[in-house]
């Protein structure tokens, strides 16, 4: 509900080995601090800017992977006011080419329209994932047969920057580099 901390990864999807990523923690109140945990161990205390705190990691190693949670602590007495859901961070060596994302009928639509998001990839046996950037934190797994997502009667909340990324079931299994971001605008 409203009382939980929002945690999300930027950019969304699988984090490339050697790349960089930001974990965002957000809460509706001011004045406290965030504590970030990985696998239940305290990783660090984050000072918020307004309602949000950011944990930047560059030159990502495999040790960055794992389940993250963020707690919001009240002032000096260190009372936990709220916790986030668990954010699973995956770190993999990514390989090209990237999938191609398209939005039909167009990038800018009116509320109530139907929209089709299509992820096209060179390998039929891959499973592709679609991510919506930001605190909504949504990700959809496409059925592996057809990498399309149909959004009916879109609302402004469906708007934002989307990207897709594919998992190739081969030996060894590999993740693709993500597609370019495409922005869906709902008016």
Sequence ranges of the domains in the chain: 6-92, 94-184
Q: Which residues pair with 117 in a beta bridge?
A: 103, 149
Average pLDDT of span 64-69: 96
Cβ density class 110-141: b for 16+ within 10 Å, e for less = eeebebebbbebebeebbbbbbbbeeebbeee
Average pLDDT of span 38-64: 93
Give the model's pLDDT for residue 137.
62
Give the model's pLDDT for residue 140.
64
**Domain 94-184 - what CATH class?**
mainly beta
Do 6-92 and 94-184 show the same overall fold? yes
What is the rounded distance in angstroms from the CA atom of residue 45 to the CA atom of residue 38?
12
**Domain 6-92 - what CATH class?**
mainly beta
> Is residue 76's pLDDT more than 80?
no
Tens of pLDDT along 126-178?
A: 888 889 898 876 666 665 556 788 889 999 989 999 999 999 888 888 999 99
pLDDT band at 30 (very low <50, low <70, confident <90, very high): confident
């Amino acid at each position: 509900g409203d009382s939980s901390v929002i945690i999300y990864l930027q950019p969304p999807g699988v984090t490339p080995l050697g790349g960089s990523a930001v974990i965002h923690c957000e809460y509706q109140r001011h004045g406290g601090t965030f504590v970030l945990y990985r696998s239940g161990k305290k990783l660090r205390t984050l000072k918020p800017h307004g309602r949000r705190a950011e944990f930047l990691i560059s030159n990502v190693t495999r040790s960055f992977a794992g389940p993250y949670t963020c707690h919001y602590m009240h002032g000096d007495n260190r009372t936990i006011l709220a916790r986030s859901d668990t954010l699973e961070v995956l770190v993999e060596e990514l390989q090209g080419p990237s999938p191609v994302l398209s939005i039909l009928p167009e990038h800018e639509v009116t509320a109530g329209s139907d929209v089709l998001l299509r992820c096209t990839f060179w390998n039929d046996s891959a499973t592709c994932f679609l991510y919506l950037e930001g605190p909504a934190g949504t990700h959809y797994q496409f059925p592996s047969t057809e990498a399309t997502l149909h959004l009916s009667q879109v609302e402004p909340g469906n708007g934002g920057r989307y990207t897709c990324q594919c998992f190739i079931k081969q030996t060894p299994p590999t993740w693709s580099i993500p597609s370019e971001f495409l922005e869906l605008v709902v008016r």
